[in-house]
Structure 1
């Protein structure tokens, strides 16, 4: 995207950020005054702040949110989907939200600390270089991270909008152009040199993806680094975090073309931003845009034909959203399984959804996702080769959502490519899948 100078309206108040972050719900939550784990409405205000130079797209004009709503949004829904449960810890510390990256889980604790467990080959546990790269089945608190209100991947947003990250990723710890083969590893948490943020998304693949975006308190998007888009005809192409051909390492600031504030962002070969109205914008690789585009690589953020989104999640090329209590999913790699949002049938309203970075291709055309209903039950569907459905089976493909038997109401869930973890309302954590039972087993925090 080319850039031009524009006068951006006054920064939203820090109160907007604190409101947005206080919910600290599921892994996909960094949005304002949410009615669910992933956020819905946000409250605006005014704040001390200077005029910013921002980026605006030279691409096609964006339709209004009402125009962006197509038959997908008109397919009805439930009158009141309700809200996800707030975790009420019976014993502290306990997890209140979950995140995952590169075989590692991280949990935001009720104490404002973050604890991680699993693979540590790229220091995802954040314990420092001296601790080595041995993994841990026991959750370990990340030193130097306090006052956290949200966590995604191996990054935490603190109450003042400061972002700290550890493990592998592009954490803006160097200046100027860098070749795509360069990787960054932070054994201990580092502070990203960015303005106060309410949402963060940083990829952590070894070579394919090393970039990130932040949804700033000002309502702007700040993006940096690169991603790889694969074309059968021409091979891999490097893109920057805005979906355009890779140029350099330096971050760029942009606003959504209709001026609405971005309150959450998720990056990858296809990237997504959600604005304060619940409209999802997408750019990047065509296969997961969730909208019709004539370009294999679409650099222009444009809205997807769903409005009123109250929960949204994307992992790799898989994406799902909840609007008016109904679940829609789309995406794929070398095949477009669901080119545009496709309804996943539920006979009860859904309050939140989470996807897994399961490879969706011609060989394996089925991803994986889980959803929490308004009755606070957990359902999962898709590829079950690792026992992620949680019903004691493996290899059975489940195209219809299957209820997971858990000993209490579910507050939040986070699937990975081979495992699922869920937090109950009382703060108890249960996990299942590869390396564990194919039915939920409890994980105890020390």
Structure 2
């Protein structure tokens, strides 16, 4: 009988190489024989050990031999694996060199032939500790640091040469400007004091002034021989490790100038561009809508950035967007709806944030923005709860969202929650909030895609107020629709109109602009008329009486442009001088104080204003040199000058060249001459279109396209048309104002439908209207007041055609009303009319367009929050609607429900822009005037409110 062999102990999946064994036999075991891996049997004794074995799998066998020579026929067997190779550890990512944050995150990995069991990490000279990837550590302070990591495999082998990384933590210093010039000054020499702090010590300071190089400097810094215009000084501290402050302290001011070109009145701020391409903003700034890097209200214009290449600016309710001559679009101010278009929903930006793309025109509404790129495609972003972005949704967008595929959009205007836009053919479309009929489709239903406004197939210019819209037709007739509670439609009533209603019988209108509850318009003779709410003097006729028909602004000046803000108005004279009037509590009239004005009051001495826009409480203008200036409220950075300080007089927005600008609610959007679209200011709901909710106080390009042609900034959403006729909207979409077929906010431009024949767009507070090249007009978004013009009060998140007319050429969307202009020069308004913003002589809501009077010589329209303005072909300007701050410009604070000629003696207006409660206009001599509410400095003259045009210095 052979023995039976047993292995008692030995390796089993380990690196141990010692075995013990035994056997049983009836006669006794004589000896054992062992072998490894099938080798030769050899006599062995227990225990037996083996060494120098290679890595890998091995087999041990042992058999007993008894005294009779019988050999165990089934030897005991044990298999195991030998692992003597340590793992190899690699650091895959982590800080290196010099970093400016105390938090370090490392990722690491290792390779091993049998597998890694765990990792061990060590920081500096501390003990090893078990760790996992990623591994994060926060250092206490600046200094040199090292990180080591080693892998340990399942056999217990540790990496003998751990991976290591070394880096230097150098927290940058912080720099503060302690004293220096501010706002508009006359001194030619300034001294600026500054200081810095750092945890390891300041080595030296470096200063930068007006585009020069960074050079070493000491405090105080002296600059002498200052010329007229905007100036910017920056200083940064450099610590002993050589790290410079990554956010230098910045100070901007303006030496008095007289060359305004374009203006836009926002909610409670105003922005304007000078002839030399510099941008100024003033007024309310709590959302950074002035763009000067602060949140301080400015009662006088402050320059936005140091560039002189601004082309157009648009001031929304509390954000601002402006476009440079390169087509770069910047937005700043409130961004809670993504209306800045920078892809975020950061609450606000107080410096301009560029919105990628090449833009031609931008319109900032209440919390949305719209812009047209160099391909004539229209994009909108920001708030979209009423469909004001026109992308068929009610979802806010924080980056420019294509409204549709059309490539023939020409102009866009943004109201509180609606948008209107026109195409190259003059076709008018509106969308968004339609509660007051501001879309103009007679539905009263919010529309979230562009709705053709058939009644106005030949719009030449559009202007929207908060809840009303206006358009000037190629015939010079002015039409308004939407909210008319204050007579802002100008039809002599306070009845809302849900379809375009001709305002008067004149056929010489060239521009219209809408504010909160008032409207202003300019005729081809340079006269500016305002109407609607006038409790702030926004009608500009020297009274506080609401006007329901276009009322001449009390000024003998000839005006080149006018823009109505929320409760204030700013306008540019033909001479280039800038004047504002109306509500001024935030300095939105830019006259250097917070006193309201019911007559046009000069903002500085601007004499070359060419384009303007009025946002919620801010305005922006572009001058003859394509420079952009804004003023008024700057809470959200909507002035775009890198601060959040209100500016009571125009401040330049950088140095870029701009071709169009539109101010929304707390934000502004503009298109530079290169077609790039920029938005800045409030970015809630993504209204700036940069993909964020971050407010921007400097222009932020929306996307990278350079084919935007027109943009409109509304309440919290934006829409823009590209040169190829595509329409995009973004921002707040609660009411479907983006027109994209849903009610989700969009933070980047979202195309509205697939049409490529959009010509222009205008965004209101929560609705949008836009026109097509075939002359049809569409509105969408909020429609509770009939602002969509479709005859209903049902909101729509897709464009709804306004009637069947195909002769619309311009549209302006206000808060909840809409006005549009037809080819024959008639203006029709619809939507909310509680302040007479429809201009039809009533305070009755209109769900379809109602003509404002019988005149057919309207040349342009602008809709503010509850007021409307329109220009006649003879240059006279009329406003109507809400007027508690004089935003109608007829010298009173009485609401007007018919167009009232803007007082002040100016009869040659070239442009008009209506903000929330203010209005601005450009006279024939290129001088800029504003009137209405001035609580954020949006009138540019420092008073509280002015009911007649005030020249903007």
Tell me the TM-score normalised to structure 1 length. Answer: 0.70
**Paired residues, number:** 370
Give the drift of 1:280. 1.6
Contact 1:40/1:310, CA 8 A, preserved across alignment: no
Alignment deviations for residues 413-435 of structure 1 (CA, whole Å, 9 cap, x no partner): 22323322222211222233332
- Residues 80 and 441 of structure 1, relative CA distance in 2, 3 Å threshold: closer
- Residues 422 and 58 of structure 1, relative CA distance in 2, 3 Å threshold: closer
Matched with 2:826 is: 377
- Residues 419 and 291 of structure 1, relative CA distance in 2, 3 Å threshold: same
Q: 2:653 matched to 1:196?
A: no
Measured on the aligned residues, the alpha-carbon RMSD in Å equals 4.3
Matched with 1:438 is: 897
After TM superposition, the structure 1 = structure 2 runs for residues 217-366 of structure 1, keeping only pairs within 5 Å, are 217-229=673-685, 241-246=689-694, 251-255=699-703, 259=705, 261-267=707-713, 268-286=715-733, 287-293=736-742, 296-305=744-753, 306-323=755-772, 324-332=774-782, 337-347=795-805, 349-357=807-815
For residues 371 and 689 of structure 2, the distance between their equivalents in structure 1, rounded to whole angstroms, comes to 23
- Residues 316 and 58 of structure 1, relative CA distance in 2, 3 Å threshold: closer
For residues 75 and 186 of structure 1, the distance between their equivalents in structure 2, rounded to whole angstroms, comes to 38
For residues 374 and 803 of structure 2, the distance between their equivalents in structure 1, rounded to whole angstroms, comes to 29
Alignment deviations for residues 79-113 of structure 1 (CA, whole Å, 9 cap, x no partner): 98374345432777323433122301122332233
Matched with 1:232 is: none
After TM superposition, the structure 1 = structure 2 runs for residues 35-46 of structure 1, keeping only pairs within 5 Å, are none
Give the drift of 1:314. 0.9
Q: Which of 592, 603, 606 pairs up with 1:145?
A: 606
SS in 1 for 2:904: coil
- Residues 319 and 90 of structure 1, relative CA distance in 2, 3 Å threshold: closer
Q: Which of 511, 518, 525 pairs up with 1:89?
A: 525
Give the drift of 1:119. 0.8
SS in 2 for 1:288: coil
SS in 2 for 1:107: strand
* Unaligned residue ranges in structure 1 (runs of 5+): 1-16, 45-56, 176-182, 230-237, 358-366
Matched with 2:590 is: 126
- Give the strand-richer structure, 1 or 2: 2
Alignment deviations for residues 241-279 of structure 1 (CA, whole Å, 9 cap, x no partner): 5242327756543445xx451233333522222212232
Matched with 1:168 is: 633
Contact 1:243/1:270, CA 8 A, preserved across alignment: no
- Residues 99 and 29 of structure 1, relative CA distance in 2, 3 Å threshold: farther
Contact 1:65/1:303, CA 8 A, preserved across alignment: no
SS in 2 for 1:427: coil
Matched with 2:576 is: 112
Give the drift of 1:114. 2.7
Matched with 1:185 is: 646
- Give the helix-richer structure, 1 or 2: 1
Contact 2:760/2:810, CA 8 A, preserved across alignment: yes
Contact 2:322/2:628, CA 8 A, preserved across alignment: no
Give the drift of 1:138. 1.1
For residues 832 and 586 of structure 2, the distance between their equivalents in structure 1, rounded to whole angstroms, comes to 27
For residues 89 and 240 of structure 1, the distance between their equivalents in structure 2, rounded to whole angstroms, comes to 36
Alignment deviations for residues 286-335 of structure 1 (CA, whole Å, 9 cap, x no partner): 33211135x82322322212432223211222211111211111123999
For residues 630 and 400 of structure 2, the distance between their equivalents in structure 1, rounded to whole angstroms, comes to 33
Contact 1:166/1:190, CA 8 A, preserved across alignment: yes
Give the drift of 1:356. 0.7
Matched with 1:179 is: none
Give the drift of 1:195. 1.9
For residues 664 and 455 of structure 2, the distance between their equivalents in structure 1, rounded to whole angstroms, comes to 34
Contact 2:401/2:747, CA 8 A, preserved across alignment: no
Which one is further off, 428-437 or 77-86?
77-86
For residues 371 and 874 of structure 2, the distance between their equivalents in structure 1, rounded to whole angstroms, comes to 21
Whose RCO is larger (CA < 8 A, sep 6+)? 2
For residues 663 and 835 of structure 2, the distance between their equivalents in structure 1, rounded to whole angstroms, comes to 26
Contact 1:29/1:264, CA 8 A, preserved across alignment: no
Matched with 1:12 is: none
- Residues 429 and 77 of structure 1, relative CA distance in 2, 3 Å threshold: closer
- Residues 113 and 288 of structure 1, relative CA distance in 2, 3 Å threshold: same
For residues 817 and 401 of structure 2, the distance between their equivalents in structure 1, rounded to whole angstroms, comes to 33
Contact 1:22/1:149, CA 8 A, preserved across alignment: no
For residues 731 and 371 of structure 2, the distance between their equivalents in structure 1, rounded to whole angstroms, comes to 24
- Residues 409 and 322 of structure 1, relative CA distance in 2, 3 Å threshold: same
For residues 647 and 602 of structure 2, the distance between their equivalents in structure 1, rounded to whole angstroms, comes to 16
Tell me the TM-score normalised to structure 2 length. Answer: 0.35
Which one is further off, 422-431 or 74-83?
74-83
Contact 1:281/1:303, CA 8 A, preserved across alignment: yes
- Structure whose alpha-carbon radius of gyration is higher: 2
Matched with 2:672 is: 216
Contact 1:264/1:274, CA 8 A, preserved across alignment: yes
Give the drift of 1:192. 1.0
Contact 2:360/2:677, CA 8 A, preserved across alignment: no
- Residues 285 and 156 of structure 1, relative CA distance in 2, 3 Å threshold: same
For residues 445 and 135 of structure 1, the distance between their equivalents in structure 2, rounded to whole angstroms, comes to 15
Matched with 1:101 is: 565
Contact 2:404/2:752, CA 8 A, preserved across alignment: no
- Residues 162 and 105 of structure 1, relative CA distance in 2, 3 Å threshold: same
